[in-house]
Amino acid sequence: MRLLILGGSWFLGRTVVSDALARGWEVTAFSRGKSGQPPTGATHVVGDRRNDADLHRLAEHGPWDALIDTSAYEPVDVAQVTDGLADLVEQYVLISTVSAYPDWPASPVDESSPLWPSSPTYTEQSPELAHLTVGGQYGTLKAGCEAAAIEGAKRSLILRPGVILAPGECVGRGLKLLDRAARGGRWLLPAPAEQPIQPIDVRDPGSSRSSSCVKRRRGRRATRRRSSIECSDWRRICFRTARQMMIRTGWTSMTGRSSTAFEPSPTACSATQLDPSLSIEK
């Protein structure tokens, strides 16, 4: 299996590369090289996906059985790649987002839910996006990326994951509460504690992308966990982490409930020494 990854140097892209290499596949990672190098074993082609000369140079490393796109933001990002590599890629797997659904997160969504109205020609400057919130603009552009992939690729698979967490997470969602716990003192947490959330471990979609390439799936899929955890689970993880760091901490919920977790110890551990077993599955 010959696989091309657009991205590949951090978080989701890096995880996909690692999974493909572990399967014994031949992997090419194409990125600008601004956020590091892909895992050892992948061929790294440095270039900009919006630069025709760079895409032409990338094409010299083809053909590929599948392409996994982890970095598309505007529809032109997809259209330029499908045009430049049209005859070199059998399947185009686009990592979109659950934000492509305007009803999310207020309501449950699935593959049949409506998407933000969009077009393969939209850009950040398109007047149709001017009245939208930042989240609405992001979702609209991602929906446009999907349209461009469906229109331009030989075979396309659209994946819409929700919030992705785990090691290497670069947005900060998973680390904010842990960082707050590390500072100690009292802090505010969401209520009610029973509110369900469905974060996805980056290693799950990383592996499923590779499996989809093998099976040559096509269509659109809303990637989500079959079960959920509660906000209280996050609270417990933070307390356990803070306990390992030997820091006194406590919480106050938005309903006014409060609690103190434990007494402090004379020393505190570095955040880099946290036990990797502290995961949302515990």
pLDDT at 241: 67
Q: What's the pLDDT at 271?
A: 32
Q: How far apart are CA 198 and CA 161, in angstroms?
A: 10
- For residue 210, give the H/E element and its range: helix 203-215
Q: Which uninterrupted H or E stretch holds 94?
A: strand 92-95
Q: What percent of the chain has pLDDT over 70?
A: 72
More confident residue, 90 or 235: 90
Cβ-based burial of 263 (10 A; exposed 0-12, middle 13-18, buried ≥19): exposed
The predicted pLDDT at position 243 comes to 66
Q: For all residues of the chain together, what is the average pLDDT?
A: 80
What span, in angstroms and rounded, lies between the C-alpha atoms of 135 and 129? 11
> For residue 275, is pLDDT > 50?
no
Most confident range (mean pLDDT) of 26-35, 195-204, 208-217 is 26-35
Cβ neighbours of residue 176 closer than 8 Å, sequence gap 6 or more: none
pLDDT above 80: residue 55: yes
For the chain, the domains span 2-166+199-221, 173-195+229-273
In the chain, % of residues over pLDDT 90:
52
Task: Could you please state the CATH topology (level 3) that the domain comprising 2-166+199-221 is classified under.
Answer: Rossmann fold (3.40.50)
Which is higher by pLDDT, 139 or 204? Answer: 139
Query: Is the model more confident about 84 or about 173?
Result: 84
